Amino acid sequence: MREQLVFLLQLQQADAKVRELETAANQLPGKLEPLRRDLAKLQTMLDAESAKLAETNAWRKAQQELIDRERDALKIAQNKLQASKNSKEFGAASREVENKRKSISDRESELKKVSEASGASTAQLESRNKDVDGLRSQLAESEAAQAEQLAQLHAGLVEARAARDAARGAVEKQWLKIYDSVSQKKGYGIASVVKGVCQGCHMALPPQLNNILARMESIETCPRCGRLVYRKELLDPKPDPEPAAAEPAAAEPAAAEPATDEASSS
């Protein structure tokens, strides 16, 4: 009996390990999602900013070409002014020169304002691009680390599953059946009894059942939670705490019937 109990406990431990590793392996890939989303968002913003900047630069180029053309027109007007033969021609030509000068100066001051602003935007865009590059390489590093972690988890899983299968192979079918059905319902299938209290559901066992457990001639189940039970001090003299989370005592109505007899063959 003692051997069977040891195998059952090994099975429980291996099952918990398999579950833990599976959960970790499933959750791991999602951990970098927030960073990936942030990066995509930043990249979209940067793309929009750089499209706007390109538009501004195209406008500046067109504006500069206009100014160049007006300078040519100014030269022609100035020549006309020099060649003017009477005061009427002189008056018209000087008005034209004045108009061209004003128009060129207006355009130039506007161009200057826009150029200054776009210079600042360019610098800002460059620094943001650098930040995004930094984030991207950070992501790449994290992905590499994660791949390694995942490989380790999978290797651990192979090991844990082998240990579980070995333990399952060693446990007799009758106990396995009870263990599996209780595990499915309650999370785990075998619980220790400390000072007459089932550590799975915290119910005090009937004294006669506790006495049967002391003889270790059979494996019994807890009348309340149905878990396979054993006296902790007989298997594991160390007073370490129960690993699995016990359910709250109020969650189950206390069952009054004694342990089932089917669990007493040895």
Binding site for Zn ion (CB under 5 A): 198, 200-201, 222, 224-225
Smaller CB separation from Zn ion, 11 or 225: 225
Smaller CB separation from Zn ion, 153 or 225: 225
Smaller CB separation from Zn ion, 153 or 201: 201
Cα(199)–Cα(71) distance, integer angstroms: 95
Cα(10)–Cα(4) distance, integer angstroms: 10
For 246, counting Cβ atoms within 10 Å of its Cβ (0-12 exposed, 13-18 middle, 19+ buried), the class is middle
Smaller CB separation from Zn ion, 93 or 198: 198
Residue 227 contacts residue 209 (beta carbons within 8 Å): no
Smaller CB separation from Zn ion, 5 or 225: 225
- Cα 178–207–216 angle (5° rounding)? 50
Cα(226)–Cα(254) distance, integer angstroms: 11
Residue 34, token pair as written in the block: 């927030």
Smallest separation (angstroms) from Zn ion to the CB of 235: 17
Alpha-carbon distances, residue 78 vs 23, 146, 240 (angstroms): 84, 73, 102
Smallest separation (angstroms) from Zn ion to the CB of 220: 11
Smallest separation (angstroms) from Zn ion to the CB of 251: 11
Smallest separation (angstroms) from Zn ion to the CB of 19: 21
Smallest separation (angstroms) from Zn ion to the CB of 224: 5
User: Looking at this protein, which amino acid is placed at residue 175?
Assistant: W
Q: Angle, nearest 10°, between helix axes 2-27 and 87-170?
A: 170
